[in-house]
Structure 1
Amino acid sequence: MPLASSLGVGILLLVCVIRLLYYAWARTFSSTPPVPPGPKPLPFIGNVHQLPVENQQKTFLEWGHRFGAVVHAKLFHSPVIIINSLEVARDLMEKRGGNYSDRPPFVLLSELMGWDSTLTHLRFGERFRKHRKWMQSAFMAKPALLSYRPLQRRESHIMLAGLLSDPDAYVRHFTRFAAATLMEITYGHRVTSESDLYVHMAERATTETVKAGSPARMLVDFFPILKHYPTWLPGSKFKVDALYVRGLVKDMTDTPYEMVKRKLESGNAWPSFTGNLLEEHYRKGPLSHEDEIDIKGAAATLYAAGTETTATTMTTFIFAMVRHPEVYRKAQEELDRVVGLERLPDFDDRESLPYLNAVIKEVYRWHVPVPSGVPHFSMKEDEYRGYRIPESSMIIANIWGMSQNTDIYPDPEIFRPERFLYNPNDELMDPKNIIFGFGRRLCPGKDFADSNVFLLASNIVATMDLSCARDEEGREVLPPLEFTSGFVSRPRPFKCVFTPRTPRAVELIRHLNNEA
């Protein structure tokens, strides 16, 4: 071997040895804190192989039991911090919200599918703060919430009439209620039929987003270069489907927005979130392209984020009541005692119905509608409890895991509303402080959503008896304890029987529906 070659090989070996010694020294003597404990990753794929396709929140909780309240994992090359503790979630996402209020770069949902201008997906910054301010004015100000009550009452009466005429379609009635209230608030458009064009467009966009956003297709989030993958090559279905959804999302955001603009120009627009923003911007001068995109995105956020979760929560309520008839009877007894049988319960009755409130809290806790929330993102490196949280870590708050904390909720698998009767003001126990998210990413519509659930639940309890469906031999069929898996989780489809409690209940429903 020539001398020059021998020297080159020797120098290369020496450099490798020095680097190995340096890494060994750094790991032994460096003052940099370690990352939190977690499952052992494999080269390149990290911990992807340890995550099931369904019900990942259960695996996250198992890791929490094994490794502690803060768990570190890797999805390919991306660090992930998993939180199963409410205390830790508040410490990081509320007390240190300036560092943990960002969102990961959702390439599939934002860049390819076109959800990039909705508040749920916006990166932390000026645009986020602008959207957040708009949402707070519409859904966190008490005068605004009070102004929605006549609309909520009207649509709840239509929902009850739907249960009278077609009780088997109860999920569709809940979805229509949520869609109609949010469509009118957002665009000033009153929904008068189940075939409403704008509702249909929105449902198609959200449904197809869920279908095309499966975990297997989210590889592009970890390897963004895949967004440039040609659609004519084999294996491009993820991109073809995403671009198809992009067209649906564009229709969903553009069409009702243009409708509001036309009505404003003709002077016959109803008051609405979108109309108010447009008029506010018109007073300042011409509408910029950026402002137009932001108004469209903010409006789409209201509808897309609220419709599915409201219908899901109400379906879970019915599921729990069918499986626990003794709880339903207690709620009926309380309503009969407080409200009576001559009218329907209203918002002002809520403080006088502690048991029904406990039932609603238990519905929230027993099966949370969004088990793992929407991930946050660390903007810079941080240290917490002696551990290093890397910059650009995906932060997953396992909301379902928090709802199963045996220290706070003994026997968490049991549906037991009484657990909230003895601690009605305990913020640590109240699942309302968990299921709507944390910090600056807290759902601004949480009070509106909660009031919807109360109004629908109380009206159903007051007017309807609930029971299991029966088989061909007349035996009751208890629906199995099964839930769908995914970003939003609800009971698997089940049958039950709605029966008007009294002739007076039927009379009330029909009278109020005629007025609506």
Structure 2
Amino acid sequence: MSSAVVLSLIAVLCAWLVHRLRRAGSRERGLPPGPPTFPLIGNLHQFPTSFAHLKFTKWAQVYGDIISVKLGPQTVIVLSSPRLVHECIDLRSATTSDRPSLHIAKLLYDDNEEIAIARYGPTWKALRRAAHDILSHEACMKHLPIQHAEASQLMYDLLERPKGLYTHIYRYSASVILSVVAGIHCPRFEGSIIEDFDSMIRQLEYIMRPGGSPPVDLIPLLKHIPSRWALWKTKAREVRAAQEKLFFGILDHCVDRIKRDERNDCFLEYVLDHQSRYGLDYRKMAYLGGTLLMAGSDTTAVFLRWFVACMVTHPDVQMRAQQEIDEIIGLDRSPVLNNIERLPYLRAIINEVHRFRPVTPTAMPHTTTADERVGDFLIPKGATIFMNVWAIYHHEDYFDNPELFDPERYMRSELGAKPGADTTGLRNDLGFGGGRRICPGSNLASNSISLNTMNLLWAFRFLPRKDEVTGFPIPIDLNSYTGGLVVFPTPFQCEIIPRSEAKADLIREQFTAALPTFELFEQHTSL
């Protein structure tokens, strides 16, 4: 072969490579619009590593309610209207229920053992079926005694140590799900398994966040970097070891309790008894229990923190809700769960907190297993889809003055929407996800939220804390929060005062009466 022919072939090959590289980050024909791409990397340089919901919302305001973003050759679709979420996530869940394949997740977990990020398939279906059996609406009614007992301790803790608001709320949220899943009650945060869980979850969030590890999924060569030069690999091993120690320790404890014939009807006991029905091995059972604990401990706690912050900053709302509670509940008893049906204004507050500060403003991402068309646009197989819950709940097409905290909107309309708005697909619980991936613990979380919002407003006044030097109230900034998958309010200060001595006495009495319930859930540390 002549040198001229060889050179011609090399030139053609180089031109083809340049063409492929230039197209690698380009937006393919038929995709929804989005920010301009850069050769090879697409929008990788623009993709947010924190506060993703705010960036997605800005893009939606420019390019529309369905946009595409290119991360190298990968496609990300962001949906910012309830109609599009309903059409893509709910109605087409057969092809939009997968999760993205992430290299960092493969370092943390074996195949499909973590229910929240497991790929769609037989193993995930078995995990989901087991979770649904114990967390369905009917099954959650059996968990009310421990939820009421834990709620009584939360009021007692706030009465005796009001400055510990953040840890008291987290202890409540984590101890409820720990009792339901593993039959273990934790009377305090410090020095408990709950503190270990919290530490592990914070490490997991750090490494799983965008930017927490290199873009290995886009540049596979990075996976071959030796661990001594890759801190993210070391962190992943540490988190994996911490998870295994906690998850297997909890399941082993349940097994030992069954052997001692000291059952308390918790979730893991049920799964162990029906292991053949679900087809789960010991490791997958341990991880199912552990991941339910991780999910359940954070979300309810974050909602209750936002709720308290909104009550401090909106005293008129707090006062009106307390008047409603006093009229319906009375002064000589604390609320029970079914009282929520007779408290429309309190239900409006709950819906407004969900809307105003959704705990998961982009929900968990989905991935398509087949091409789908939405109107004139293509959503290609393998695309990652985000539900932009924040944009939906702060969209002026659906809500009047969406940046204002205003429970009244839910007194005027069940969905809080303004007159004439197209509410197709709009739900008050979009933060729990959608389609076949909707959160299996939503019933338990809703019960906890309803019970504790009633209790806290029945029992306490929430006031701004005053500066010790100036005497002026210390403001709470509702726009100050962390920016991960779960949005935490920045720690704030407030005064928590019992509404009367009679209520304080009743709180102490109810906490004492709850102690026998705690004994069923293996109280390891003396109260």
TM over 0.5: yes
Whether the 8 Å CA contact 1:183–1:303 is kept in 2: the answer is yes
1:28 equivalent in structure 2: none
Q: Which residue of 2 aligns with 1:25?
A: none
Structure 2 matches for 1:479-490, cutoff 5 A?
479-481=476-478, 482-490=480-488
In structure 2, give the amino acid aligned to 1:274: L
Q: For the residues of structure 2 that align with 1:184 and 1:20, how far apart are their CA atoms?
A: 59
The answer for the alignment partner of 1:6 in structure 2 is: 4
- Paired with 1:20 and 1:43, the residues of 2 have a C-alpha distance of 10
Give the alignment of 1:12-411 within 5 angstroms: 34-112=30-108, 116-142=112-138, 144-195=139-190, 197-218=192-213, 219-232=215-228, 234=229, 236-281=230-275, 291-411=281-401
Say whether the 8 Å CA contact 1:110–1:121 is kept in structure 2: no
* Cα pair distance change 1:278/1:196, threshold 3 Å: farther
Q: 1:309–1:17: structure 2 CA closer, same or farther, 3 Å change rule? A: closer
Q: Check whether the contact 2:86–2:425 (CA below 8 A) recurs between aligned residues.
A: no
1:416-446, CA deviations, whole angstroms, 9 ceiling, x for partnerless residues? 0010111126775965331110100001111
For 1:437-494, what per-residue CA distance to the aligned partner results, in whole angstroms no more than 9, with x for missing partners?
0100001111211111111111110110111010122211221231111111121111
One-letter code aligned to 1:213 = M
Q: Is the Cα contact below 8 Å between 1:361 and 1:432 reproduced in 2?
A: yes
- Residue 474 of structure 2 corresponds to 477
Aligned length: 498
Give yes or no for contact 1:113–1:249 (8 Å, CA) kept in 2: no
Structure 1 unaligned spans of 5+? 22-31
When residues 19 and 462 of structure 1 are mapped into structure 2, their CA distance, relative to the original with a 3 A threshold, is closer
Instruction: Show CA shifts across 1:362-421 (max 9, x none).
Output: 000001111111110011222221112122111111111111111111111100001011
SS at match of 2:334: coil
Runs of at least 5 residues in structure 2 that lack an aligned partner in the other structure: 20-27, 417-422, 515-527
Q: Percent identity?
A: 26
Moved more, 326-335 or 40-49: 40-49
TM-superposed CA distance for 1:347, in Å, is: 1.2
Farther off after superposition, 386-395 or 326-335: 386-395
Q: Distance in 1 between matches of 2:513 and 2:164?
A: 23
Aligned residue for 2:251, secondary structure, equals helix
- 1:505/1:55 Cα in 2 relative to 1: closer, same or farther (>3 Å)? same
CA drift of 1:190 comes to 2.2
Alpha-carbon distance in structure 1 between the residues aligned to 2:161 and 2:142:
30
* Match status 1:434 vs 2:424: no
Distance in 2 (CA, whole Å) between partners of 1:494 and 1:506 is 24
The answer to which of 87-96 and 424-433 deviates more is: 424-433
- TM-score normalised per structure 1: 0.91
Amino acid at match of 1:180: S
Task: Specify the SS of the correspondent of 2:34.
Answer: coil
Distance, in Å, in 2 between the alignment partners of 1:496 and 1:310 is: 20
2:503 to 498, 505, 516: 505
Q: Which amino acid aligns with 1:474?
A: G
Q: CA RMSD in A?
A: 2.5
Q: Distance in 1 between matches of 2:180 and 2:170?
A: 16
Q: Give CA-to-partner distance per residue, 1:7-31, whole Å, 9 cap, x none.
A: 454567689999999xxxxxxxxxx
Question: What amino acid is the match of 1:149?
Answer: L
Structure 1 pair 491–432 and aligned structure 2 pair: CA distance change class (3 A):
same
CA contact (8 A) 1:201 1:251 kept: no
Pair 445,166 (structure 1): closer, same or farther in 2 beyond 3 Å: same
C-alpha distance in 2 between matches for 1:464 and 1:13: 77
The Cα shift of 1:41 comes to 1.3
CA distance in 1, matches of 2:15, 2:362: 44
| CA separation of 1:225 and 1:90: change in aligned 2, threshold 3 A | farther
Q: Is the contact made by 2:358 and 2:389 (CA closer than 8 Å) also made in structure 1?
A: yes
Instruction: Give the TM-score of the pair, scaled to structure 2.
Output: 0.89
Shifted more, 294-303 versus 436-445: the winner is 294-303
Q: Is the 8 A contact 1:33 1:386 kept in 2?
A: no
Distance 1:77 1:487, change over 3 A: same
Determine helix, strand or coil for the equivalent of 1:100: coil
**Residues 1:9 and 1:422: Cα distance change in structure 2 (over 3 Å):** same
Tell me, yes or no, if the aligned pair for 1:114 and 1:246 is still in contact at 8 Å: no
Distance 2:145 2:16 in 1: 74
Letter in 2 for 1:385: G
- 2:491 aligned partner: 493
Distance in 1 between the 2:67 and 2:473 partners?
A: 44
SS at match of 2:412: coil
Equivalent residue letter for 2:473: E
CA distance in 2, matches of 1:77, 1:421: 47
The structure carrying a bigger helix percent of its residues is: 1
Q: Structure 2 vs 1, CA of residues 110 and 452 (structure 1 numbering), >3 Å: closer, same or farther?
A: farther
Give yes or no for contact 2:60–2:67 (8 Å, CA) kept in 1: yes
